[in-house]
């Protein structure tokens, strides 16, 4: 068997074979009931879902498989939860190479191990050739919310500091470069990675983290605008403090993109009490995924619902959400 057939999505023998040979062993699932039964006794659960339709499926720094695991791990992490269990739902196009499926599943398995989460249940569907695009993956996840933590845009206050965990723009530029056959030297590599250990390190020193999110689709600008809108505050960012790699700057100039709108997959935005900002930055910089952490701005009262960017030459400009599509199918 080297290509996926419609029968692999049928619920019958071919599907059982696919699960038994490829998916079950990769995820360490031995029983194939339709639900996973989980022993846990939490007070507050976080629950999230994301479908991944990234194109191309393989790109510098990752593939749709680890992206699907880390993306959902990160959504739970920025909700202030410790990610525990993931589900995975595959929609595979008839004719998809099984070797590619194996690589993707193996990446998912490694990514789950790296992040310390377990993939506990799954589903496989197959659609006719020409009715999909290789493979789409949904992952949903459950985590336990850290005690005493309350992450919500409603907690954002005047005076809060805005922190970013590292360089922006790498994921989006890596994808667009791969898609268009552009190469950089050194190459731009996706930042796909799990943020749960970074978040845990931060939470261990303070509960004064008011808001966290990972700026994926729509980029940093869209996430900042969401935060400003939801909290009815003004978020003021210093352009000069934004960690944008030279390669990303160059690529964006070349392609006509604004790095503020380019997707990231391993970057954390945090809005925190002013007194907690410096201690957090110093903890973040000690973590491998936070070495370039920066304070990039602060929260003001007005004009509410806006994001202002102080440019390098001393002006300010209003930052809005991504209006429509910049880079389709980035995740």
Footprint (CB under 8 A) of a copy of itself, residues 84-123: 85, 87-91, 120-123
What is the C-alpha to C-alpha distance for residues 29 and 152, in angstroms, rounded to an integer?
Answer: 35
List 1, 12, 250, 286, residue binding a copy of itself (CB under 8 A)? 12
> Between residues 50 and 310, which has the closer beta carbon with respect to a copy of itself?
50
3-state secondary structure of 68: helix
Residue 319 phi, psi dihedral angles, 5° rounding: -110, 125
Bridge partner residues of 62 (DSSP): 59
Pairing outcome for strands 209-213 and 269-272:
antiparallel
Q: How many residues bind a copy of itself, per CB under 8 A?
A: 86
Residue 63 phi, psi dihedral angles, 5° rounding: -150, 175
Pairing outcome for strands 135-145 and 161-164:
unpaired
> Between residues 227 and 281, which has the closer beta carbon with respect to a copy of itself?
227
> Between residues 41 and 246, which has the closer beta carbon with respect to a copy of itself?
41
User: How does DSSP classify residue 10?
Assistant: S
Site for a copy of itself in 36-65 (CB under 8 A): 36-53, 55
Q: How far is the CB of 190 from a copy of itself (least distance, A)?
A: 16
Q: Does 166 bind a copy of itself (CB under 8 A)?
A: no
| Cβ neighbour number for residue 59 with a 10 Å cutoff | 22
List 7, 25, 60, 243, residue binding a copy of itself (CB under 8 A)? 7
Q: Does 70 bind a copy of itself (CB under 8 A)?
A: no
Q: Does 13 bind a copy of itself (CB under 8 A)?
A: yes
List 147, 152, 291, 311, residue binding a copy of itself (CB under 8 A)? 152
> Between residues 138 and 294, which has the closer beta carbon with respect to a copy of itself?
138
DSSP-assigned states of every residue in 210-268: EEEE---TTHHHHHHHHHHHHHT-EEEEEGGGS---HHHHHHHHHHT--GGGS--SS--
Binding segment for a copy of itself among 5-13, 176-184, 248-256, 309-317 (CB under 8 A)? 5-13
List 27, 59, 96, 136, residue binding a copy of itself (CB under 8 A)? 136
> Residue 7 corresponds to which tokens in the numbers above?
């029968």
Site for a copy of itself in 249-308 (CB under 8 A): 261, 263
* Per-residue contact flags (x/-) with a copy of itself for residues 180 to 219, judged by CB under 8 A: ---------------------------------xx-xxx-
What is the C-alpha to C-alpha distance for residues 214 and 270, in angstroms, rounded to an integer?
Answer: 9
Bridge partner residues of 142 (DSSP): 47, 85
Q: How far is the CB of 53 from a copy of itself (least distance, A)?
A: 5
């Amino acid at each position: 068997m080297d290509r996926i057939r419609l029968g692999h999505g049928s619920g019958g023998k071919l599907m059982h074979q696919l699960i038994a040979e490829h998916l079950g062993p990769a995820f360490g699932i031995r029983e194939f009931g339709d639900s996973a039964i989980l022993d846990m006794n939490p007070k507050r659960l976080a629950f999230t879902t994301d479908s991944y339709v990234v194109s191309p499926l393989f790109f510098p720094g990752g593939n749709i498989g680890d992206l699907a695991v880390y993306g959902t791990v990160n959504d739970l992490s920025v909700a202030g939860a410790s990610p525990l269990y993931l589900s995975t739902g595959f929609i595979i196009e008839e004719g998809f190479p099984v070797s590619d499926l194996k690589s993707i599943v193996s990446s998912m398995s490694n990514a789950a191990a790296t992040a310390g989460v377990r993939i506990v249940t799954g589903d496989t569907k197959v659609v006719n050739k020409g009715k999909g695009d290789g493979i789409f993956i949904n992952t949903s996840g459950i985590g336990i919310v850290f005690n005493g933590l309350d992450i919500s845009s409603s907690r954002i206050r005047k005076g809060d500091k805005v922190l970013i965990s590292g360089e922006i723009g790498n994921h989006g530029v890596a994808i667009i470069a791969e898609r268009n056959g552009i190469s950089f030297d050194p190459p731009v590599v996706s930042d796909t990675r799990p943020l749960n250990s970074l978040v845990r390190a931060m939470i261990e020193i303070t509960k004064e983290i008011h808001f966290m999110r990972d700026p994926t689709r729509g980029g940093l600008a869209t996430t900042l605008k969401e935060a400003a809108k939801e909290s009815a505050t003004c978020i003021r960012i210093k352009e000069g403090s934004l960690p944008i790699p030279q390669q990303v700057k160059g690529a964006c100039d070349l392609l006509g993109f604004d790095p503020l709108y380019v997707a990231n997959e391993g970057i954390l935005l945090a809005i925190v009490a002013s007194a907690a900002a410096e201690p957090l930055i110093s903890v973040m910089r000690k973590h491998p995924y936070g070495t370039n952490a920066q304070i990039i701005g602060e929260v003001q009262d007005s004009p509410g619902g806006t994001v202002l960017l102080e440019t390098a030459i001393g002006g300010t400009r209003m930052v809005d959400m991504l209006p429509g599509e910049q880079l389709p199918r980035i995740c």
